A and B are shown apart, each in its own frame.
Chain A
Amino acid sequence: DADVTQTPRNRITKTGKRIMLECSQTKGHDRMYWYRQDPGLGLRLIYYSFDVKDINKGEISDGYSVSRQAQAKFSLSLESAIPNQTALYFCATSDFNGQYFGPGTRLTVL
């Protein structure tokens, strides 16, 4: 997972604050994804991008936005954080063999 990096690894913020989570990859993949992980719910897709000009909503996009700055960079923003967005967030890339995940960002919204 060193090929997919996420910053920050941990973040505590307050309700109403804007926060950005960043993801970078050196795998050369066009496809990138953002997921959130909650206990018992597995990973749920927030947004995905098949190339720099292609951004798509996943199953739980409300309250989130993304930016694909380059093939290697895909950022997730919470415009106004709320407590139920407290979760573990993962970025991933994919090729025809499967998806490759970063180490995750643990976000706590107070």
Chain B
Amino acid sequence: QQQVKQSPQSLIVQKGGISIINCAYENTAFDYFPWYQQFPGKGPALLIAIRPDVSEKKEGRFTISFNKSAKQFSLHIMDSQPGDSATYFCAAKAAGNKLTFGGGTRVLVKP
């Protein structure tokens, strides 16, 4: 049973377009929601994160939107570039710094 559900599993977007990845969670004890980016042959790397007292966080072309009442959060990649082609994981943290990960979304940005 996955506590963090991520969709879609894969996504193709044209260069310059917007990539949107959605995650939903059940555990209201989660208090930190990071997104990780993983390139082939590499480990996941922290991309951006949000805490539940904030509804939106933006860093460059990457934005997290957070809806606490719906228990959902999403990653938006604006002006998507071929170099953004990677697998993206949402995650949620409860006590003890343990992360629960979503299933991942493979994003392909076509030139």
Q: Contact: A45 with B98, CB < 8 Å?
A: yes
Q: CA–CA, A101 to B99, complex, Å?
A: 12
**Which B residues from 2 to 40 make CB contacts under 8 A with A?**
2, 4, 6, 9, 34, 36
* A26 beta carbon closer than 8 Å to chain B: no
Partner of B43, one of A41, A50, A97, A103: A103
Q: Tell me the nearest residue of chain B to A1, going by C-beta.
A: B43
**Which A residues from 55 to 110 make CB contacts under 8 A with B?**
58, 90, 92, 94, 97-104
Q: Contact: A1 with B9, CB < 8 Å?
A: no
Chain A interface mostly: strand
Check A43/B42 contact, CB under 8 A, given A94-B97, A98-B34, A99-B99: no
B31 shortest CB reach to chain A, Å = 12
Q: Contact: B103 with A40, CB < 8 Å?
A: yes
Partner of B41, one of A4, A100, A103: A103
Q: Enumerate chain B residues within 8 angstroms of A99, measured Cβ to Cβ.
A: 34, 46, 97, 99
Check A43/B44 contact, CB under 8 A, given A94-B97, A99-B99: yes
